[in-house]
Structure formats: structure tokens, C-alpha cells
Structure 1
Amino acid sequence: MSVAGCGTHTAQVLDRNGATVAVANVLTECEWSRVLDGTSSARALIQPDGDCCNRLGTIGSWRSRLVIFRDGQYVWDGPVTSVTWSLGQVEILAEDLSVWLNDRVPHENKTFTNVDLSEIAEWLIDDGFAPDDPGHTVQIIGKAGVSGSRSYTAGVGQTGDHLDQLAEAGIDYTVIGSTFLLLPETHLVSVGRLSDVDMPEGLEVGDDGKALVTRWIVEGSDDSGVIGSDGGTDPVYGLHERYIQMTEITDAASATQAAKARRRTSAQVPVFIDTQQVTISPLAAIDVPNLVPGWALDVTSASTCRKVTQRLKITGVKVTETGGDENTPGTESVQVQVAAAATEVA
């Protein structure tokens, strides 16, 4: 049975062409994360041994990749974005593949008319990597179920920003290794269970009133002049209105769909369960590599005044191992952030 908190990590640094630059024979600290609709990060602290120091001296931002394994299983991969060499150790910081899209722009003019958002997201990703691809794949787990019209102009706007705007209009994405996973906001497949016994330090349950919006107004491009809205005054919460312009939207139907998607996740005060400051018990029957943002956990807790028995979407994962040396494995901690999914909020 797989459990959390008992894993041991190894790491290596590869060149962009896949050649091995260095292997972390003495990995004293390791940390990696996964994020829903965003860019995750990783950190490795390596103690040079033998001729490893010379190899570690050749690591460079963007030309090197940090690859992390947990108990021999591939769990994280991404370009190095910072390296610090100091006496007796080398610290490597990296971000997942989506960070490249923050440094890319659309490379051709493209117009979509009433198509599923997953198709648009796939094109944005593929176009962003088209001139220079470090190696990526796109896997559509399920269609967004939200259609829209969008127009993109070559050289205008960062591709990462365009993708994030789609993620706010009805589709989710997460990056695992070299693969972008696209899935509907309503995706709610459970990968495990957590209860109070799995979180012996307790957990924190909170609601975020600032995230409440009962009516959304979405304006399209200046040329189109379209505006869509959804929602109104809530009998419990009152009226909370929010306006945003999405310049890639070209028709009123798409603006309305974008407004509906935003309201679907903000129409009630969202409830979050955060274990960021709490380590999941090493005995918890959780398969850590399967903790993927966009999937869900069945959470049952009566440890606070706000009792929870709910399937909640994973929004973030953070795994850290510290204290290891050449002879002794380190201590691993696993932290998970979950929140009510769009279907639960609705």
C-alpha cells in the first residue's frame, strides 16, 4: 500500500537535448510542487562529491533541466531558472514547462469561432512551443464543455497570460513533467481519502469572502464592442459585481459564457481546506505521485467547528525531503491544498 511521508528522492540535471549533466549523488534537500492553473516550482540542494563539482559548475538557467524522482518514480521535471554555488553546496531552482509560455507570444494570427476551450488551449500551447520546443505534449483529459470565440494576433500578448485567461473562463490545466493536462472545471475524480487521523496536527478550514462575486461582466475586444454578463443579487450575500475585459473575445455569446464560467466558481463564499502548515501522516494511504491538481480527494474532518465531508479538488501539492546525507535518508513531508470544485460551489 502506498503511503505519504515515506518517500526518498533522487535528482539529476539534464541538458536540453537530454544528455546527463550531473547526478545529485548527495541530495541534502529536495522540494517540488504541483499547481492548478499555474506554474509549479522545485528546489534541490546538492552537496558535491568526487568530480561532481565540475559537472555542477556547468549547470545554467534555461539550458539545463532539473528532473526529480520519488522512490525511483518520475515526479517532476522543468527548466532550471536559477543556480547558486556556495561553499560545499549547490542550490538549483527550477519551474515546470509552463514557465516557457510566459516568455512566448502567439506566432500567427488565429481566430476561433464557437469551439470548445480545450481546443483553443491546445493551440495556444502548441503555437507557443512551435519555434523552439524543449519537448512537450498536450493531453486532453476531457473537453471543457464551454464553447467560445477567440482571436489572437501574432506577437501580441504573452502566451502564458492567454492560457491563464482561458483557465478563468471554464477550463483547468496542470503540468506533470513534460505534459500539459487539460481538463474541465467540473472534473471530480477522486485519487484518495483524508480524514482527521491522516492529519494529526489538525487542519485549517476557511472561507474567503473576498472571492465572492454574484454578478460578472465580461467585455470583449475594443473592436467587437461586445459585453456579456451573468448573475445578479443573491438573496443571502447581496450584490457583488466584478468587471473584466478579455480582449481575445470576439462575440457576445463567448463573453456571456466567460461570465457564466467565472460566476460558477465565485457565486458562493468558497470553502478551502489548507494543510500547507500541516504534514500528512506518513501512514496515510495516499499515493503521492497520483496527487495531481485537477483531481480530487474525499476529505472528512470534524476537528474544527466547521465540519467537512466533501469531495474537494486538489489545487496544490508540495513535497519536501530534508536532512538526508550519504548514509541516512531524509524526512519527507507531504502537504496538499484542496478547495470546493466548480460543481460543488454551484
Structure 2
Amino acid sequence: MASLGCAQEYRAIVHWRGGSLPFTSPGVSALTSVSWNRTLNDTSEASITIAKGAAGAECCAQLGQIEPFAHDLSIYRDSELVWQGPVFRVTESRRRFVIEAHDVTEWLARTVNTTLLRYVSTNPADPKRQSPIQQIAESVIRENLAGGLYASSPDWPKMLPYIVRQDDTVTARFEKDGTADNEIWIVPILRILDEELVPRGLEYTTVGRALVLGRSQTTADPAQARLTLDSFAGDVEIVRDGTNAASLVWVTNQEDQDISGSQFGVSGVVSGYYGRLDHLIRTTAEGLTAYDLWQIARGSYTGRHPVPTSLRIPDGAGLATTAPVSMRQLVPGVRIDVAATGMCMGLSQPYRLSDVDVDWGENGENVGVSLIPIGDPFVGDPP
């Protein structure tokens, strides 16, 4: 059985854009601290701190030539690549040199959409047909990065070969266009993912250079690991919180002052156990149909019913080195089961990993994780 273990060393390499051709690498002795994270539906960050005195004059001269977005930062835990993305900022003081980077989704935040977003066809031969939302997300990314009038070269961030998908079981219909169905929504690609596709069930994260386009895990998905309280270094808290609980999720485009012509979508169950427990989402997005609103309601229902029981890990605590899970299994979105015996709220249930936060320095390595309850999606028919 794999275990997390304890990192013997961290190495950092600065590559040219694309993550293949090395540019420079500070010696291990010059690397004084490393931090990196993985996160769900957001851009992760990493930073390294280099002691200039230990780096030497030749390395220092190369560090001074690092350019944001022209270079990538790669971080290795022992021999395993655990993080990679474009350099975002470099800061030099008298004694140290700091390199900060964002993961490859930063390129999606810096690239404006120039394609028509109209996935409404039911023709199986149409490349822009109704599809799982993960397939639509990949199509939007590929069409924008493959080339075109404003591209310096095809796939200049070198992302397209590293897209990984786990498709939903339902087909989505998505469009974002003007009244003549031929206008292009000129916004960053990442905004399309965050505002339009994530509410419909998309989840995204990065591991190394890979961009993972996935879906919410359910109780039918296998667990990547099974942890107990002994798997955590430090205290943990079990919290059963009704703040975000709901048995019915409603989504409407209704305005408070003008309710004419408005529509709504609803997803969930009528609960005899909890009584009437509704959650209302108002959206100001234009052009949404009742089907669109139902998709958003379905995507927002997961994890609300039954009332979620969360495992809270205080700051400063983390996984024990003996935890039966490897670093490559710690991918945001995967299922991890936890059994907490000996507690009043006896806990044994599946969770989803939402964040991994790693710090390494003179005190060694700390691997923090955040877990959120798994909830099965509502599987009823659309309107």
C-alpha cells in the first residue's frame, strides 16, 4: 500500500515556456523554502525562495534573466514532478530571490475567447453538438488555443496534449451568443469555465502540466484512499453544518422589480425528513432557457442533501507521513473515504479532496488537505 512518506529533498527547475527545455536550476542547497498547492475550480500557485549567497554568481546571472510567461517553474518532490506552470512574478532582495508562478490555467485567464459558443445541435456529426459539459469545455479551449489570427503559434502555452477528461453521464446544451446567434462573447476563457460551465457540473484542476476536466465524484466512484484519524498529524474537527443544506435547489433569472417573462429551474427531492428546505440562486446571465436553469440547479444540488458532515483540519495540521495515500493520488476532486471512530459523531463516509497545500523548508514538509462531503447528484429528468 502506498503511503505519503516524507520528502527527502525538493528541486526546482525553470524551463522555457512549455515545460520541456530547461533554462536554469538553483542548487538544492540554495533552495531555502518551497510552497505549492493544488485546488479545485481555481488557479493554484507556487513559489520558491533562493538564498543568493548559496546560489553563486553564475546562477544569479541566469535568475536575473527569468521573464514572467516566457518561463515555467517546475517543482519536484524527490524525483516526482508535482507542480508546473508559468512564472508570474520574480522578486529580488539583497539576500534572496523569490520566484512565484501560477498553474497553466493562468493561460486561460490571459486568453480571450474568439470562437462562437453555440453547442445546441443534436447531429452526432456536428463538432459543436450537445455533449457532456467536460467535452464542451475542452472544445472551447482547443478552438481558442489551436491557432488563429491572433496566435503567436499553435498552442503557444503547450497545454493541448495534456488535457484529461472524465465526462459526466448527461449531455449538456450550452450557448452564449447574441440575438442573431452569431456574436462572439469576448471574455477570458477561464471566465467561461467559471461562470458558465462550472455551474453546469464541470470541475477543473491541474496536476503538473495536466489540465483535468472532470465531474463531481459520487458514491459510485471508487475511493483513491481510506483514511482514519491516525492519518492526520494534529487535531481534526467533525462539523455537521446546515448552512448550505437543501433538498430543493431553485435557480431563477427573475428580477426583484420586474418578474415578467422570467423562468426558473428546480432540482432535488421533496424531503419528508427535513421538511421544506430550499436554496435559491438568482442569476443575471442573459439568454438562459428553462433547461439552462435546470442544469445550474442540478450542478448546485450535489453535497446539500442530506445535511453535509464535514471534516475540518485546522491550519498547521496536515497528513501524517504514514497516511496511506501517495502524492500522485492527491488530485483535487477525487474521492477519499474517512473513518473517525471514538468520536460522538461516529464518522465513516466518502469525501472529495478540494485542496492540497504543501510547504517545505528548514522544518521539513507539511502536507495540508481540505475535504468536502460527497453528495450524489439529482438524477431526475430535465423539464
Asked if these proteins are the same fold (TM beyond 0.5), I'd say: yes
Q: Which residue in 2 is equivalent to 1:212? A: 245
1:294 aligns with 2:349: no
* Structure 1: unaligned runs, 5 residues or longer: 324-329
- Check conservation: 2:107, 2:157, Cα contact below 8 A: no
- Residue 132 of structure 2 is aligned with which of 104, 116, 121? 116
1:22 corresponds to which of 16, 21, 24: 24
SS in structure 2 at match of 1:118? helix
Where in structure 2 are the equivalents of 1:87-166 lying within 5 Å? 87-113=94-120, 114-130=130-146, 131=151, 133-137=156-160, 139-153=163-177, 154-164=184-194, 165-166=196-197
Q: Where in structure 2 are the equivalents of 1:259-278 lying within 5 Å?
A: 259-275=297-313, 277=315, 278=317
Question: Do the aligned residues in 1 keep the contact of 2:48 with 2:99 (CA within 8 Å)?
Answer: yes
Query: For residue 9 of structure 1, what is the aligned residue in structure 2?
Result: 10
1:139-196 deviation line (CA, Å, top 9, x unaligned): 4443212322212342433321211231222222211122211222135332222211
Query: Where does 1:31-70 land on structure 2 (aligned, <5 Å)?
Result: 31-48=35-52, 49-50=55-56, 51-70=58-77
Question: Aligned pair in 2 of structure 1 residues 63, 280: CA closer, same or farther (>3 Å)?
Answer: same
Deviation at 1:276, TM superposition (A): 5.1
Q: Matches of 2:73 and 2:110 in 1, distance apart?
A: 19
Which of these residues, 227, 244, 250, is aligned with residue 194 of structure 1? 227
The offset of 1:92, in angstroms, is: 1.4
Whether the 8 Å CA contact 2:117–2:185 is kept in 1: the answer is no
Q: Deviations over 1:312-336 (max 9, x none)?
A: 111111121111xxxxxx6111111
User: Where do 1:63-82 residues align within 5 Å?
Assistant: 63-82=70-89
CA distance in 2, matches of 1:336, 1:156: 36
- The within-5 A match list for 1:222-261 is 226-231=263-268, 234-235=271-272, 236=274, 238-245=276-283, 247=285, 250-261=288-299
Given residue 240 of structure 1, which amino acid in structure 2 is its aligned partner? D
Q: Percent identity?
A: 25
Distance in 2 separating the partners of 1:62 and 1:78: 9
Evaluate the alpha carbon distance shift between residue 2 and residue 71 of structure 1 in structure 2; reply closer, same or farther with a 3 A threshold.
farther
CA distance in 2 between counterparts of 1:176 and 1:331 reads 22
CA contact (8 A) 1:186 1:341 kept: yes
**Residue 96 of structure 1: how far off its partner (Å):** 0.7
Residues 267, 378 of structure 2: 8 Å contact kept: no
Q: TM-score, normalised by structure 1?
A: 0.87
Q: 1:5, CA displacement in angstroms?
A: 4.8
Instruction: Decide whether aligned partners of structure 1 residues 100 and 56 sit closer, same or farther in structure 2, where only a CA change above 3 A counts.
Output: same
Q: Work out the CA distance in 2 between the residues paired with 1:149 and 1:22.
A: 46
Which of 1 and 2 has greater Rg?
A: 2
Aligned residue in 2 for 1:326: none
C-alpha root-mean-square deviation of aligned residues, in Å?
2.7
Query: Does the aligned pair in 2 maintain the 1:295–1:314 contact within 8 Å?
Result: yes
> 1:125 & 1:112 partners in 2: Cα distance?
14
Structure 2: any 5+ residue segments left out of the alignment? 121-129, 178-183, 255-260
Q: How many matched pairs?
A: 337
SS in 1 for 2:138: helix
Question: Which is further off, 107-116 or 13-22?
Answer: 13-22
Partners of 1:238 and 1:226 lie apart in 2 by 21
Aligned to 1:310: 349
Normalised to the residue count of structure 2, the TM-score between the two structures is 0.79
